[in-house]
């Protein structure tokens, strides 16, 4: 309609999340310089992230220094559940935000004080969609799948599973009660994300918790040397 002589096309060619991605890269470098291994834990709400981490912290903190940043839309309930296990814990209340972003990690890390840590665990907001798009500067992303959610979650939410280096099946003590088809779940996970390590845990009985803690310690040592 308007044929103003000033009308023109400007090439931009930039990643829309370049600010988040740039900050996440700087955080990754800084954590690496300080010898801190960073884990980003994602899952649906109620898959057992906090309980798994609470049980894992007991095994980890006797060997290495651990800090935890936990994100929720509201309340500090999860930080309370994670405290008392030998790790410094900081709650981020996102005030309705459905995921964590790199700038939140930057300020939370400043508040928590990460100097001297060997492992920083980030418990993301419970959500299988939005956290997939936001790099937090982590070394590995781990997605949880509880047996109560159904075996086809990896097929329904492939993006987050594909971006994960490990998948932890949780609440295995409930598997029989909910008729969880373990073989099908493992087939679905490995067909969506063939390279991911698969672990199985029950925070209630303790089954698989040592193997999961060992996986983290090995990954941390591999990075820090």
Partner 1 sequence: MHEVGIILNAIELAVEKAEAAGATSISRLCLRVGALSGVVPDALEFGFDLASKGTMADHAKLEIVQVPARCRCANGCGEFEPDSPVYSCPACGAISSIVLQGKELDLVEIDVN
Instruction: Give the footprint of partner 1 on this chain (CB under 8 A).
Output: 2, 4, 6-20, 97-99, 129-130, 132-134, 154-155, 158-160, 162, 190-195
Give the whole-angstrom CA distance, residue 122 versus residue 199: 19
Task: Work out how close the CB of 37 gets to partner 1 at its nearest, in angstroms, rounded to a whole number.
Answer: 23
Main-chain phi, psi angles of 203, to 5 degrees:
-70, -25
- Return left, alpha or beta for 137; rule: phi > 0 is left, psi -120 to 50 is alpha, else beta: left
User: Whose Cβ is closer to partner 1: residue 63's or residue 107's?
Assistant: 107
- Cβ atoms of 69 and 90 within 8 Å: the answer is yes
Give the whole-angstrom CA distance, residue 98 versus residue 158: 18
Task: Work out how close the CB of 183 gets to partner 1 at its nearest, in angstroms, rounded to a whole number.
Answer: 16
What is the separation of C-alpha 206 from the centre of its chain, rounded to a whole number of angstroms?
21
User: Whose Cβ is closer to partner 1: residue 19's or residue 221's?
Assistant: 19
User: Whose Cβ is closer to partner 1: residue 20's or residue 201's?
Assistant: 20
User: Whose Cβ is closer to partner 1: residue 19's or residue 182's?
Assistant: 19
Give the whole-angstrom CA distance, residue 27 versus residue 19: 12
Task: Work out how close the CB of 19 gets to partner 1 at its nearest, in angstroms, rounded to a whole number.
Answer: 7
Task: Work out how close the CB of 113 gets to partner 1 at its nearest, in angstroms, rounded to a whole number.
Answer: 28
Task: Work out how close the CB of 189 gets to partner 1 at its nearest, in angstroms, rounded to a whole number.
Answer: 11
Q: Which residues contact 52 (CB under 8 A, 6 or more apart)?
A: 144, 168, 170, 201, 203, 209, 212
User: Whose Cβ is closer to partner 1: residue 56's or residue 164's?
Assistant: 164
């Amino acid at each position: 309609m308007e044929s103003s002589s000033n009308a023109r096309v400007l090439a931009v060619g930039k990643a829309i999340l370049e600010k988040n991605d740039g900050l996440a890269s700087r955080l990754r470098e800084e954590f690496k310089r300080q010898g801190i291994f960073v884990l980003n834990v994602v899952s649906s709400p109620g898959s057992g992230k906090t309980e798994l981490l609470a049980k894992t912290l007991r095994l980890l903190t006797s060997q290495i220094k651990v800090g935890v940043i936990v994100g929720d839309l509201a309340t500090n309930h999860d930080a309370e559940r994670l405290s008392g296990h030998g790790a410094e814990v900081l709650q981020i209340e996102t005030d309705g935000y459905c995921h964590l972003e790199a700038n939140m990690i930057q300020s939370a890390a400043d508040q928590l004080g990460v100097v001297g840590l060997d492992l920083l665990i980030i418990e993301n907001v419970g959500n299988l969609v939005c956290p997939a798009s936001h790099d937090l500067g982590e070394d590995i992303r781990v997605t949880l799948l509880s047996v109560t959610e159904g075996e086809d979650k990896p097929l329904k939410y492939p993006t987050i599973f594909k971006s994960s280096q490990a998948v932890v099946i949780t609440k295995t003590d409930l598997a029989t009660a909910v008729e969880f088809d373990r073989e099908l779940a493992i087939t679905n996970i490995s067909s969506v994300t063939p390279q991911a390590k698969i672990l199985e845990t029950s925070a209630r009985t303790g089954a698989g918790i040592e193997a999961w803690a060992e996986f983290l310690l090995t990954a941390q040592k591999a990075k820090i040397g």
